[in-house]
Structure 1
Amino acid sequence: MNQEKFAKALTGLTPRQEEVLLKLLAGEKDAQIADQLHITPGTVRKHIENICSVFELGNLEDRGLSHRSELMSLFAKYRPELFRGDTSILNERTKILLSYYGGTEDKSLASQLDAALKAKGYVVFIANGKRRMETNGLQQIYAALNCCDRLLLLLSTMAASSEMVTEEVRWAKALRDNRPDSKPAILPIRLNCPLSLLNHDLRGYLQGLPQQEWHSPDDTPAIVEAVLDWLAADEKQAIVPALGSSRQGSVLFTSYSLTPNYPPQPVAEPELPRGQVELASAFYIERPSIDDRCYEAIAKPGALIRIKAPRQMGKTSLMARILQRATQQGCVAVPLSFQLADSKVFADLERFLQWFCAVVSLELQLPDRLTDYWNGIFGSKVSCKSYFERYLLASTATPLVLGLDEVDRVFQYPELAADFFGLLRAWHEEAKNREIWRKLRLVVVHSTEAYIPMDINQSPFNVGLPVELLEFQSEQVLDLAHRHGLAWGATEVEQLMAMVGGHPYLVRLGLYHIARKEITLAQLLTAAPTDAGLYGDHLRRHLWILSQHPELAAAMKKVVGAAGAVQLESMQGFKLNSMGLVRLQGNEVKPRCDLYRQYFRIRLASSPSSQSEE
């Protein structure tokens, strides 16, 4: 084999083959390689056999023979530096993670992109529905995200509602925000998927990024060309707009109303309807004792409402309706999610408070006047208070309602959180004495306990109206089933709730697909606690998160393995509860529903050695 053929063969290796080859050239034994890559020695030997085939060593008659010595000789001749541990074989080539859900349209586009990218010498890792369902698929995707240079994100309508896709994008954005080289660069390509169908979290992660739109197979050549141009350009340059490309504004809240044509979104939209408003969804179930109290509270000057519940329990949906009611009462309302803030915003208190003021100004359609009202001599908290008092509140003739969603993000920075929440408490107290501050009303939404150390007199979490959302009762699930056009009775409701409890999102997702006759209740229940079931995407997302936090995985394993409620360390219990996986019962916890008990009892019991091979 000459050098030209050798170079071509080298570019044809898969990422896993490259990993095995480098370790082989470094002198590692098959068992060592298997242990490091979490595969069996047999799989290592199979990879080496395939590598030899790529380099034209062997034929059909002698596939059972080892050609390692010839392989080593080739690399000694053309790439001897690799024997010294030089990993340039991986570093020289741009690594791309190509993510898609697995429908007909996105699979076809992904296939053509994959072929075009590999023809140009790029290393491509595919993250699709099939890989996400593999036992060790999540670990493979996580590893690929950590080392990839670019993320190509194909967003079909199904991908837009996928919890796993959202979690992958969240992780990629976190890596990008915290790395000096800002990798991986991300390019979303929406396939007949309007922005309004992206769940709120996903839209927040992708805000400000250049995007491409695909409408039919006729667009494929132009999309492929645009992607290759993007890869060839400097990573910090924006892609040259191609067909249907679009950019999002700094903070985007597009109205989204649930219709029978689309499944429930895993993350609710904190929409603020303008003018004469309607409910965002015909399937919203009111909790009269809670909703009515919130509507009464927001009408009062200086109001503070605190909404706490685990993820996907309807917190943001309730906040949207509180803001809607406030606008009907003549207030101006601003929904603000802290998921929209880049990680760098939380670097210090001054930068965070300036971002906070600037975003509220933007939503009020007021010019940014931080330079006029921000004075470093007085400190950032005084400057922020001055900006609100002398500018924002003074510029609005009507009360201002701030809906602060996902404030859990702030909890991750204890010192900053203590100062910020102390500031909110001070503003609330100011309303008792000064008219200008009676114009400010706050709605604070969070999932976790406010476990940051704070003076009881400075915390906003022990004043105002506390609201804790509970699961649906059987009567509410029956009402929701009837709204979906299902002629259900108590028996069907009991069967569904025996699996998913009264979890609002899981109940709605099941009813949606049953109402569309895509699945029967019996079929749903049979496959529910499996990766292939209706809730597979939801369950894999939780498994993904647990895999990143071994202490939480161990705690969850203890919970699902017990016959009854168990005691956990307080912090572990709070975090699992905020994820929605467990229910707190005094000092003990138990699985929130049988779906979680069945699924995680099996998946968390699996050891690496028992996982399927690649």
Structure 2
Amino acid sequence: MDVKKALEFVDDLIYTKTGKHLNDLERQVFIGSWQGQTYEEIYPFNPEYVEKYVGYKLWQKLSSVLGEKVSKKKFRGALERAIERVSATKNTDPPHEDKKRTREDESKEVKIKRVFISYRSQEPDFNLAGQLYEAISAAGHKAFMANMAGFSPQDRNPDTDWLSQIDLELQQCDYFLLLLSPQAAVSEMVIEELRRVKELRDSRRESKPIALQLRIDCPPNLQLNHDLRTYLHGTRQREWVSPNDTPIIIQEILNLLANNEDWGIASTEESEIDIVETINETSVQSQIPNPKSQIPSPLPVAEPELPSGQVRLDSAFYVERFPYEAQCYKAILQPGALIRIKAPRQMGKTSLMARILSQAKEHGYRTVPLSFQHADTNVFNNLNELLRWFCVKISRKLRLHRQIDDYWTDTYGSKDNCTVFFEDCILPEIDSPLLLGLDEVDRVFQYPHIADDFFGLLRAWYEEAGYSDSDSALWEKLRLVVVHSTEVYIPLNVNQSPFNVGLPIELSEFNQQQVKDLAMRHGLNWQANHIERLMSIVGGHPYLVRLALYHIAQQQLTLDELIESAPTEAGIYGDHLRRHLWNLQEHPDLASAFSKVVTSSISVDLESVLAFKLHSLGLVQLHGNEVKPRFELYRQYFGDRLSIKG
């Protein structure tokens, strides 16, 4: 008897007794077990879950319908005996034709939805994700479980296969269900998944996938980093506190899938997220003193704090980059000031910008932080769309309720319209200087057809403040902080670029003394050799150093264990490394270029644009035209994976 007929026979027996067919994963387990595969071979992405939940329940169902106790290793004999009994009663063909029609009727009644479940491999997240998967599958829909925290050590497939499947499932799903626990809130893979979801929604008329967030044991005062807060704005949300909530949550999700019912979505008005940001900023500000000259010095030792993006203003773990802070605080007091902050990602650019804005507030300035990373893709279609978005965002954050259409005309160009809007509707309406913090302006570099004009406009405003006419006094009120990750890799008119004027700040990695100071703040009495060993793997990378010190201070691992596991999936950097790997997969030209870098024992020459992009991601060091891996961590991890893929 072949496996297909055996599966149909079993499915009919179970349907006759329970009224439900086997779901897709149960069918996969049945076929794999029939063929003698292990759980790891059947479902390498999460064999533990399949064995503990799916397989266990499947063998219980088979034991019930076959009339004898069966297991994964012993079900075939019981099944053959059951088929012989049916044959002896002249019912040799399993009655699957009627059931086939039933399946067709069911599919007509309920449109099958695809649900992507993102979770961490910990309790209660793991168990809850499994229950959601079972319920969604049993209702006839398609569910996919993705462990955001890492892969099982027994996973035999290359990571690139897993990441490709994640990407495929995100493209196909109707709903993205995020199980957001406090631990998940600091996951880089969560940010990457949400970014991809937003990207897919922006590119489709049907606005799919729809993001749903299920908060798992999240305290009311849980602080989300800026990226996560922005990506989750407007998403449907429910709270899970105990197992008593599980049946209710499951039923609500099934109702949503079956009837397109709504959890209740927050308003998508940008003014509301601005209010939330204002409340968060006020809350943070209230926790710290209000000095006139500088942010207070951190305590020498503090409770370990898991790094999660921008370092809070009141954090004891912010390391000052002398003399940059003092230079920036002095510069913003100058009329028409322009500060340019440059460094690869996760080097502390946004944290420094936040402190500059905070210092400006203490001097009575109005401040607006604005990240281009969170603008919809269609904003960059043309210069007119970008400048309208720019004006609307700033006026809303300042609570200046002006209708932009009243000031935008086809008679003049979009740059002139934007300038007039600032001169008529923004700058005259405030009685203090205005500091704009423009973060992630690298996003504009990707659109050369608008980049030259946009950056030329910023340069023109900066120069306007230097004139001696009446309009210059107005433009003197505007101060700019421009944050980007690398050199400008598009040709800009040297006389129009804002990247060769103002105060340049280029953040470097921590030096040994700064890492030692940071270790002391974590309560670690490290000697020079400890510092050198850690930096031999991750250099002075602020985020990677802090992540290591946090886990060591929490006694979750030793320095020896960290160094040994660092370039592996089981290490504390697995989430960080997979996010980079996913980005590289999305851009084959970057992956190919980086493969040359990590598999070479010497520095290599790369095309300038590719080198700049890899540098902006924080993956390489640039020395003129020579490129080499930024850290030994990256050489080891990506050297294995990219060379295998190649």
Do the aligned partners of 2:611 and 2:622 also contact (CA within 8 Å) in 1? yes
Q: Specify whether residues 263 and 238 from structure 1 end up closer, same or farther in structure 2 by C-alpha distance, changes over 3 A only.
A: same
Q: 2:350 aligns to what?
A: 316
Q: 1:119 aligns to what?
A: 138
1:201 and 2:217 correspond: no
Q: 2:478 aligns to what?
A: 440
Q: Which among 429, 449, 456 is matched to residue 494 of structure 2?
A: 456
Do the aligned partners of 1:189 and 1:213 also contact (CA within 8 Å) in 2? yes
Q: Which among 498, 504, 507 is matched to residue 469 of structure 1?
A: 507
CA distance in 1, matches of 2:494, 2:94: 68
1:227 and 2:269 correspond: no
Q: Specify whether residues 11 and 343 from structure 1 end up closer, same or farther in structure 2 by C-alpha distance, changes over 3 A only.
A: farther
Deviations 1:37-96 (A, max 9, x none): 999xxxxxxxxxxxxx999999613999xx9xx9999799958x99xxxxx99x952111
Deviation (angstroms), 1:215? 2.3
CA distance in 1, matches of 2:320, 2:341: 15
Q: Which among 567, 572, 590 is matched to residue 529 of structure 1?
A: 567
| Higher mean C-alpha displacement, 395-404 vs 210-219 | 210-219
Q: Specify whether residues 432 and 250 from structure 1 end up closer, same or farther in structure 2 by C-alpha distance, changes over 3 A only.
A: same
1:158 and 2:183 correspond: yes
1:369 and 2:369 correspond: no
Compute the TM-score of the two structures, normalised by the length of structure 2: 0.78
1:327 and 2:361 correspond: yes
**Structure 1 residue identity aligned to 2:263:** I
CA distance in 1, matches of 2:271, 2:435: 25
| Higher mean C-alpha displacement, 333-342 vs 497-506 | 333-342
Deviation (angstroms), 1:342? 2.0
Aligned pairs for 1:181-330 within 5 A: 181-193=206-218, 194=220, 196-234=222-260, 238-240=262-264, 249-251=272-274, 252-253=276-277, 254-255=280-281, 260=303, 262-265=305-308, 267-268=309-310, 279-330=313-364
Do the aligned partners of 1:97 and 1:151 also contact (CA within 8 Å) in 2? yes
Report the secondary structure of 1:293's partner residue.
helix
CA distance in 1, matches of 2:474, 2:248: 55
Q: Specify whether residues 188 and 169 from structure 1 end up closer, same or farther in structure 2 by C-alpha distance, changes over 3 A only.
A: same
Q: Specify whether residues 59 and 15 from structure 1 end up closer, same or farther in structure 2 by C-alpha distance, changes over 3 A only.
A: closer
1:12 and 2:35 correspond: no
**Structure 2 residue identity aligned to 1:586:** G
Q: Which among 106, 125, 129 is matched to residue 106 of structure 1?
A: 125
CA distance in 2, matches of 1:375, 1:114: 53
Q: 2:194 aligns to what?
A: 169
Do the aligned partners of 1:118 and 1:124 also contact (CA within 8 Å) in 2? yes
Report the secondary structure of 1:113's partner residue.
helix
CA distance in 1, matches of 2:585, 2:422: 42
**Structure 1 residue identity aligned to 2:473:** E
**Structure 2 residue identity aligned to 1:268:** Q
Deviations 1:302-321 (A, max 9, x none): 01111111110000011011
Report the secondary structure of 1:377's partner residue.
coil
Q: Which among 124, 139, 164 is matched to residue 139 of structure 1?
A: 164
Aligned pairs for 1:489-528 within 5 A: 489-528=527-566
Report the secondary structure of 1:366's partner residue.
coil
CA distance in 1, matches of 2:489, 2:22: 51
CA distance in 2, matches of 1:121, 1:391: 55
Deviation (angstroms), 1:199? 2.3
Structure 1 unmatched ranges of 5 or more: 22-36, 40-52, 83-87, 272-278, 609-614
Deviation (angstroms), 1:12? 1.5
Q: 1:347 aligns to what?
A: 381
Compute the TM-score of the two structures, normalised by the length of structure 1: 0.82
**Structure 1 residue identity aligned to 2:273:** S
Q: 2:464 aligns to what?
A: 430
Q: 2:290 aligns to what?
A: none
Amino-acid identity (%): 50
Q: Specify whether residues 429 and 129 from structure 1 end up closer, same or farther in structure 2 by C-alpha distance, changes over 3 A only.
A: closer
Do the aligned partners of 1:14 and 1:123 also contact (CA within 8 Å) in 2? no
Deviations 1:247-271 (A, max 9, x none): 9933442346997364101x216x7
Do the aligned partners of 1:204 and 1:339 also contact (CA within 8 Å) in 2? no
Q: Specify whether residues 603 and 248 from structure 1 end up closer, same or farther in structure 2 by C-alpha distance, changes over 3 A only.
A: farther
Deviation (angstroms), 1:330? 2.2
Deviation (angstroms), 1:5? 6.9
Deviations 1:14-34 (A, max 9, x none): 49959x99xxxxxxxxxxxxx
Rg larger for: 2
Q: 1:588 aligns to what?
A: 626
Deviations 1:316-359 (A, max 9, x none): 01101111111122211111112232223223322322221111
CA distance in 2, matches of 1:241, 1:395: 33
CA distance in 2, matches of 1:525, 1:71: 61
CA distance in 1, matches of 2:624, 2:420: 43
CA distance in 2, matches of 1:449, 1:338: 17
Do the aligned partners of 2:150 and 2:574 also contact (CA within 8 Å) in 1? no
Report the secondary structure of 2:183's partner residue.
helix
Do the aligned partners of 2:235 and 2:265 also contact (CA within 8 Å) in 1? no
1:60 and 2:86 correspond: no
Do the aligned partners of 2:343 and 2:486 also contact (CA within 8 Å) in 1? yes
Deviation (angstroms), 1:503? 0.5
Deviations 1:549-586 (A, max 9, x none): 22211211111111121111111111111111111111
| Higher mean C-alpha displacement, 153-162 vs 249-258 | 249-258
Deviations 1:572-614 (A, max 9, x none): 1111111111111111111111111111111212249xxxxxx
Deviation (angstroms), 1:374? 2.1
CA distance in 1, matches of 2:612, 2:97: 54
Q: Specify whether residues 227 and 78 from structure 1 end up closer, same or farther in structure 2 by C-alpha distance, changes over 3 A only.
A: closer
Q: 2:54 aligns to what?
A: none
Q: Specify whether residues 6 and 416 from structure 1 end up closer, same or farther in structure 2 by C-alpha distance, changes over 3 A only.
A: farther
CA distance in 1, matches of 2:408, 2:376: 22
Q: Specify whether residues 367 and 9 from structure 1 end up closer, same or farther in structure 2 by C-alpha distance, changes over 3 A only.
A: same
Deviations 1:455-478 (A, max 9, x none): 111111111111111111101100
CA distance in 2, matches of 1:71, 1:448: 68
CA distance in 1, matches of 2:401, 2:600: 57
Report the secondary structure of 1:336's partner residue.
strand
Q: Number of residue pairs matched? A: 558
CA distance in 2, matches of 1:540, 1:321: 30
| Higher mean C-alpha displacement, 103-112 vs 536-545 | 103-112
Q: Specify whether residues 488 and 368 from structure 1 end up closer, same or farther in structure 2 by C-alpha distance, changes over 3 A only.
A: same
Deviations 1:268-315 (A, max 9, x none): 16x7xxxxxxx3311111111222221121111101111111110000
**Structure 2 residue identity aligned to 1:369:** Q
Do the aligned partners of 2:342 and 2:507 also contact (CA within 8 Å) in 1? yes
Q: Specify whether residues 303 and 603 from structure 1 end up closer, same or farther in structure 2 by C-alpha distance, changes over 3 A only.
A: same
| Higher mean C-alpha displacement, 349-358 vs 576-585 | 349-358
Deviation (angstroms), 1:454? 2.2
